[in-house]
A and B are shown apart, each in its own frame.
Chain A
Amino acid sequence: MSDFFASESFIKAMDILKTEFPLAIWETVYVTVLSTFFAIIIGLPLGVLLVAGEDGKIIKIPKSVLHVLNVIINLLRSVPFLILMIMVFPLTRLIVGTVVGTPATIVPLVIAAFPFVARLIEGSLREINPNIIETAQSMGASPVQIIVKVMLPESVPSLISNATIAITTILGYSAMSGIIGGGGLGKIAINYGYYRYQYLVMFFAVVFLILLVQIFQSIGTYLSVKCDKRLKNRK
């Protein structure tokens, strides 16, 4: 065992761990958080539209608009992420100015994640008891008030737990972006593990990815439970 810790590959791996990992972890975290943020910015209104616009119950929008929206979301969700990253190169170049590097991976990540987020939000909002919406209508709530004061606040616990699912999924995607020049833990795992057979480095990268997922999930679960007023016996 002492041989292993003295071995060349271990010393090298430890060296990379010290020099490259801090930045890689930071890159992974900020790409994931920023991408999730933008995906929610785009996905939230779409998710609301999918639920509130259905059969003109809350917002009256043409059926065809909803239909097109559904098709676009399904289309984007069916393209594998690796292919999507390459397909959106022109858009990435337009927004970021380059297609390689860490900031450049945010564009494909957001494009891949917002339809997913829209579906998650749709699911959260559908859980609301329709009678509560009817009650708000009976009290003279306008469509905007129903969305802002009833639908969203009532589904906060579910929205938080779905946002947690989104952020862990996006973390996985961000690791994949290492293949096309994105930074972060994914890049380290691919460059050292896959291209240079330094499996130990890849192993470290995976351990950190697992840790990040655990941290995000724990925070998300904690917040979701903490703010759910439906649970009895709270202080």
Chain B
Amino acid sequence: MIEIKNLTKTFNTAGGSVEALKNISLTIEDGDIYGIIGMSGAGKSTLVRSINMLERPTEGKIIIDGRDMGSLSESELRKERQNITMIFQGFNLLMQRNCLKNVCFPLELAGVKKSEAEKRAKELLELVGLGEKLKAYPAQLSGGQQQRVAIARALATHPKILLCDEATSALDPQTTQSILSLIRDIHDRLGITVIVITHQMSVVEQICTKVAILDNGSVAEVGAVSDVFSAPKSKAARALVYPDGFEQSAVSSENESVIRVVFNGANATKTPLIAKMAIEKGITASILSASTKSIGDKAYGNMLLGITGGKEQLDSALKYLREIPDIFAQEVTDNE
């Protein structure tokens, strides 16, 4: 279990002090895939670097399995860091070492025998699907392959916690998908706790179970991903869930109800959803606004539907939509 208690981090820069993190408290249970999401400059990277003490907190504590990370000596901390490994946006592989040697690197640091290290590295490279690329150098690999090597490297020391710092932000959508499913697969197989830092809502949607939304150095909202996504409470959460901010103008006339439909990876692209609803249920809906995209054959994003015909029609529309897996449907009311 990772407990972040009243964490504050202040940077002293030439232009005065900047409070990057303000009194953050979070609890991350073992085995969670925990998303931390926020806009650029929200303090996500600083927060994740505080967990393994790459950034020393100004105030507050990081407690991992009951041990206060701030109280460890340099050598104890180095040992502990073998249990909390990290992957990065820029992959950060050693460019002068081949894949096998890159994965061996953390084992070398830990003093593992060379033959054992290479055996483990081979296994891990097989696990991430790069068993053929042992002798290849990072420059010869694509971004997605490099991130796979980085994941294999991060797993080498049998960590309990994997920190992913914008691990898919430099990758194209398809590669992002494959890396995310690899991370999820590794989580399921090895049962490690994963913390995912990202600015992409879709990343959190796809693999996280819980999410914390960071806004300007503070936690704006915490909860299960489905809750936060279907009914974001804070302004920061709404800005992330509905990046176009169209909800204000959406509620138009008095006899028209508005439903927000959130596509969370639903197999909806091949199904004419609105048309089917009209044919099967006799509900006519007008699309007030839509911001969806298809990745692979799955749909992500959200849509506002205007429904006339009073409460009855509204309820049956909600019922119909909620029966479809990976779709959240909710009435939008004025007071939101």
Instruction: Write the residues of chain A forming the contact surface with B, with a CB cutoff of 8 angstroms.
Output: 129, 131-132, 134-142, 145, 149-150, 153-154, 156-157, 227-232, 234
The answer, yes or no, to whether B92 is at the interface (CB within 8 Å) is yes
Q: Which A residues touch B86, using CB under 8 A?
A: 135, 138-139
Evaluate contact between B92 and A131: CB separation under 8 angstroms: yes
B82 touches A140 (CB 8 A): yes
- Note all chain B residues with C-beta closer than 8 A to A137: 54, 81
Q: How far is the CA of A156 from the CA of B105 in the complex (A)?
A: 17
B115 within 8 A of A: no
What are 24 of the A-B contact pairs (CB < 8 Å)?
A129-B92, A131-B88, A132-B92, A132-B93, A139-B153, A140-B79, A140-B81, A140-B82, A140-B106, A140-B109, A141-B78, A141-B109, A142-B109, A153-B96, A153-B97, A156-B96, A227-B96, A229-B97, A229-B98, A230-B96, A230-B137, A232-B140, A234-B137, A234-B140
B95 at the interface (CB under 8 A from A): yes
Q: Which of B94, B138, B140 contacts A153 (CB 8 A)?
A: B94
Contacting A at CB under 8 A, from B142-164, are 153, 157
Asked whether B31 is an interface residue with its Cβ less than 8 Å from the other chain, the reply is no
Q: Is B108 part of the contact surface with A, judged by Cβ < 8 Å?
A: yes
A107 to B283: give the CA distance in the assembly, Å: 94
Q: Given A138-B86, A142-B78, A149–B109 Cβ distance below 8 Å?
A: yes
Please provide the chain B residues from 212 to 254 with a CB less than 8 Å away from any CB of chain A in the complex.
none
Which residues of the other chain, A, contact B98 by a CB distance below 8 angstroms?
Answer: 229
- Give the CA-CA distance A228 to B138 in the complex, in Å: 12
In the assembled complex, B127 has its CB within 8 A of some CB on chain A: no
Q: Is the CB of A139 within 8 A of B106?
A: yes
Q: How many angstroms from the CA of A134 to the CA of B139 in the assembled complex?
A: 20
Q: A153-B96, A229-B97 are in contact. Are A140 and B110 (CB under 8 A)?
A: yes
Q: Is the CB of B94 within 8 A of A138?
A: no
Besides A135-B88, A230-B137, 12 other CB < 8 A contacts? A132-B92, A135-B92, A138-B81, A139-B109, A139-B157, A140-B110, A142-B75, A142-B109, A153-B96, A154-B96, A229-B95, A234-B137
For B198, the chain A residues whose CB sits under 8 A away are: none
Please tell me if the beta carbons of A154 and B85 are within 8 angstroms of each other in the complex: no
Contacts of B52 on A, CB cut-off 8 Å?
Answer: 138
Q: How far is the CA of A228 from the CA of B139 in the complex (A)?
A: 10
Across the two chains, which residue of chain A brings its CB closest to B83? A140
Residue B90 lies at the interface, judged by CB distance under 8 Å to chain A: yes
Q: Which residues of A contact B137 (CB under 8 A)?
A: 229-230, 234
The complex places the Cα of A139 from the Cα of B92 at a distance, in Å, of 12
Q: Which of A149, A156, A230 contacts B139 (CB 8 A)?
A: A230
**Min distance, Cβ A137 to any Cβ of chain B, angstroms:** 6
Complex CA–CA separation, A118 to B275 (angstroms) = 73
Q: Give the complex CA separation of A150 and B96 in angstroms.
A: 9
For residue B97, which residues in chain A have a CB less than 8 angstroms away from its CB? 153, 229
Residue pair B96, A139 in contact (C-beta under 8 Å)? no
Closest to B87 in A: A135
- Closest-by-CB residue of B relative to A128 is B95
Give the residues in chain A near B54, CB-CB below 8 Å: 134, 137-138
> In this complex, what residue of A is CB-closest to B150?
A135
A149 touches B96 (CB 8 A): no
User: What is the 8 Å Cβ interface bit string for chain B, positions 106-118, against chain A (1 contact, 0 not)?
Assistant: 1011100000000
Q: Which residue of B lies closest to A145 (CB)?
A: B109
The complex places the Cα of A16 from the Cα of B157 at a distance, in Å, of: 67
Cα–Cα, bound, A157→B106 (Å): 23
Tell me if A230 and B109 are in contact (CB < 8 A).
Answer: no
Specify which of A154, A227, A228 is in contact with B94 (CB 8 Å cutoff): A154
Name the residue of chain A whose CB is nearest to the CB of B94.
A154
Q: In the complex, which of the residues B79, B90, B95 has the most CB atoms of chain A within 10 Å of its own CB atom? A: B95
What is the CB-to-nearest-CB distance from B176 to chain A, in angstroms, rounded to a whole number? Answer: 20
- A129: chain B residues at CB < 8 Å are 90, 92
